Chain A
Amino acid sequence: ETGVTQTPRHLVMGMTNKKSLKCEQHLGHNAMYWYKQSAKKPLELMFVYSLEERVENNSVPSRFSPECPNSSHLFLHLHTLQPEDSALYLCASSPQGARKPMNTEAFFGQGTRLTVV
């Protein structure tokens, strides 16, 4: 276990549903991330939070809405998704906050396998 826990592990949702992905880290890290991993594509950074403040948003559609209530928890709220949003969604955390998050090791959760039908 990496100390980063994601729930649920698998999720199937219709295009009109609303669901949320949860991530919790027990490592005392300052930065947390959401990544999307589609088949045969590199990981795509979606959101970065540092000390609970969003520091990066890589032009993600508004149907994905992140929330970081504290430094240990990160959510990704989903609504009116499209089939092409089906992917593995990975949460990660790293010790260093602010503007250089990924220069320290990122610890990944096991991901949520999302299928949009």
Chain B
Amino acid sequence: KNQVEQSPQSLIILEGKNCTLQCNYTVSPFSNLRWYKQDTGRGPVSLTIMTFSENTKSNGRYTATLDADTKQSSLHITASQLSDSASYICVVNTNAGKSTFGDGTTLTVKP
């Protein structure tokens, strides 16, 4: 069964600190993995997409990694800001276009 598991479920950090969110998956056949950010009361917005051959990709203060062998991805946030408070969702897509969503990690950045 295709599954996407994210950890931690929630996280509280102080402004300016770094954090790392995890995503483990069993989806097959793997096509790509996306990280979305969802602000409260809004729809998700794509941060990065990782394909099989990519190990690391950055988008500003967000850096995603992918280990296709262990089927793990991480999203690292550097120098966190209050506006980073949101839910971060990992989505893994198959070659057939099927998407499996993780439960998300709720990040709270406090001043």
Interface residues of A (CB under 8 A from B): 2, 4, 6, 40-43, 45, 90, 92, 99-103, 105-106, 108-111, 113
Contacts and interface: CB of A to CB of B under 8 A. Distances in A.
B47 to A, nearest CB: 10
Nearest to B102: A42
Interface of B: 4, 31-32, 34, 41-46, 49, 89, 91, 93, 95-99, 101-104
A41 B43 CA distance: 15
A74 B97 CA distance: 20
B101 A105 contact: no
A102 B42 contact: no
Nearest to B32: A103
B31 A103 contact: yes
B89 A43 contact: yes
Contacts of B34: 105
Nearest to B97: A100
